[in-house]
Structure 1
Amino acid sequence: MSDQEDDRLRQLTTLSPRRFHILANPPLGVGLLIFGHENESYEEENLQEFFNIGDQIRNCKPGIWTSRARKLVDTEPDMPDREYILHWVSEGTIDIEQSVEDWEAYEEATRPEDANVKLSNIVPPGTKWRRYGSYFSDGGVCAIVSTEYLTHDAARAIMFGDRQSDEELDYGFYLESLSLNGADIGISEEQRGFTIGGMNFYQDEVGGPPRIAVAEENGQIIAVRFYLGPEEEENWKSEGTEDGLESEEEGDVEEESEE
């Protein structure tokens, strides 16, 4: 691995960009992929097999999304104290070939704006959440990443700053960096739960396996939530507002600072 490749990827994983994008025509028609830890031995050239080993979320609204961590208050001792949420922000794309400095400037400009949005208001009034299932991985890691960031072209753009780079690509190392960043031991509080292209966390942080709920608008998914649900599956709500993420009065929810 070249010093250029290692340095750029290291800087970007340290930055842990909160915003990412989902294409109108995403790879294999999948907007978001949920998967566990992928190690360096992964050398699959055909993305089809990789997509098949994870859980897929299709029909996501194209555009720019953001990742959020929600810290819960009044939780019982030794119980999960946070949730992880991804939601649509605006139309547009993000230049993943841009310099680290430009990427950092974009993050600094957009993080305060995103942090000021109350998590209880991330979807339009009256929008119904529905349960989507749960996710379990033997590795204990849950990564949810836009499929645009899982292509070989994207890997080259992020690692080398050039999709057309002819440098040798260590795709397995790239996947490992995405799937472990934000969940690695000793990670800073600032990075906890975030990775390039989406989110990354240990399942036990939200109750393993975490429950998954999605919110939809005009037939498209505009938000995804990972949270601790009832122990008994029959107690899950099939649709409607999910407990803990309805339009709450200000002060009912403590949101984790991203500064």
Structure 2
Amino acid sequence: MSDSGISSTSEEGNRLNSLLSLCPRYVVVPPNPPDGIAFALAGNSQEWDHLTELHSGISNCKPGVWKAEMKMIEGAEFGNCDTEACLRWVADLDEETELDFGISLNEWQAWEQMFKDRFDDSAAGWDEGLAWKHAGTYYDDGGLFNVISMAYLTRGAAAMVMEGRGAGEEDIDEDEWAGYLEMITLNDNLDGEDCERNSGFTFGGLHFGQDSIGGPPGLSVAEKDGQVVAIKLFMDHEELDEGTAFDSQPGKVVF
């Protein structure tokens, strides 16, 4: 499957599998996110409570469309802060940019392409003037780490994504929605070209591997006008010190 193509027959198959394969790089953050959390920090999850009660989140994020990016850092030693993962705000939500999770797969792809055309080549200098600060680390002994917009992690969103329609409370099958969460947060159902192309990304955000014992990646955030407008992640073999200035952390990586 090409980077911009969803099979015309996909609508007859599994919508979630098709969207995981497309793995949109542009992500919606609503003005009033569930539980006040804009981006959930989670490992592999099968229960909704895990997303808020047992794990952390990033709040006070600027509503709108955010772009997910992943790249290797030139010259970095493998395993020593060698990968840059970033989520950054790019556009306000309006009639043109709002995303209805129940639209057809072809319409979803067209929405994604609209943002690719506008923002894929506009990364240079986007963070000039932004002050990054260390925002903690995240530990999950499953060796997985996800930063996913909570807009994608509700039962209502699950119904729209999986079936293209809304669902009343009486229609919700907890086991089915648990499978939705697992597929998004585990992100291992892809193979071949999709697996390679989507490495580091998942539906609604980013997917970041930890080491074999779940060594925590570091988080940094940038704020503008009192709101978080960007999130970056990195990992280092050494333990990250919460009390150390961000640009003095092990690896001395400054994004």
Give the TM-score of the pair, scaled to structure 1: 0.79
Asked if 1:189 corresponds to 2:190, the answer is no
- Name 2:140's counterpart in structure 1: 137
- Of 126, 129, 143 in structure 1, the residue corresponding to residue 129 of structure 2 is 126
Aligned with residue 147 of structure 1, among 138, 145, 150 = 150
Quick check: 1:183–1:202 contact (8 Å CA) kept in 2?
no
Identity of aligned residues (%): 31
Stretches of structure 2 that go unaligned for 5 or more consecutive residues are 1-9
Corresponding position: 1:162 with 2:170: no
Aligned partners of 1:238 and 1:65: how far apart in 2?
Answer: 23
With normalisation by structure 2, the TM-score equals: 0.80
Residues 1:173 and 2:176 are matched in the alignment: no
1:37 aligns with 2:44: yes
**Equivalent pair of 2:25/2:67 in contact (CA under 8 Å):** yes
- Report the AA paired with residue 164 of structure 2: G
The answer for the alignment partner of 2:121 in structure 1 is 116
8 Å CA contact 1:97–1:157 kept in 2: the answer is yes
Partner of 1:71: 72
- Does 2:100 match 1:95? yes
Q: Structure 1 counterpart of 2:42, which letter?
A: F
Once the two structures are superposed, what CA deviation does each residue of 1:186-206 show, in whole Å capped at 9, x if it has no partner? 66221111111111121249x
Structure 1's unaligned 5+ residue stretches are 246-259
Letter in 1 for 2:208: F
Q: CA deviation at 1:7?
A: 0.9
Distance change (3 Å), C-alpha of 1:78 and 1:99: same
User: Relative to structure 1, is the Cα distance of residues 183 and 35 closer, same or farther in structure 2, using a 3 angstrom cutoff?
Assistant: farther
**Aligned partners of 2:34 and 2:151 also within 8 Å:** yes
How much has 1:6 moved relative to structure 2?
A: 6.3
Match of 2:209 among 202, 205, 218: 202
Question: C-alpha distance in 2, partners of 1:60/1:113?
Answer: 22
CA RMSD of aligned residues (A): 2.9
Choose which of 28, 33, 36 in structure 2 pairs with 1:21: 28
Shift of the 101–24 alpha-carbon distance from structure 1 to 2, 3 Å rule, reads same
- Give the total of aligned pairs: 233
Look up the equivalent residue of 2:179 and give its one-letter code: F
Question: Shift of the alpha carbon at 1:174?
Answer: 0.4
> Is the 1:36–1:142 Cα contact (8 Å) retained in structure 2?
yes
Q: What SS does the aligned partner of 1:13 have?
A: helix
- Assess, with a 3 A threshold, how the Cα gap between structure 1 residues 173 and 4 changes in structure 2: closer, same or farther: farther
SS at match of 1:189: helix
Task: Report the counterpart of residue 86 of structure 2 in structure 1.
Answer: 85
Tell me which residue corresponds to 1:53. Answer: 54
Q: What secondary structure is seen at the aligned counterpart in 2 of 1:121?
A: coil
Aligned match for 1:227, one of 225, 234, 248: 234
SS of match in other structure, 2:206? strand
- Which residue of 2 is the match for residue 237 of structure 1? 245
Superposed CA offset, 1:103-145 (max 9, x none) = 1122233225433122x6333x322111001111111110111
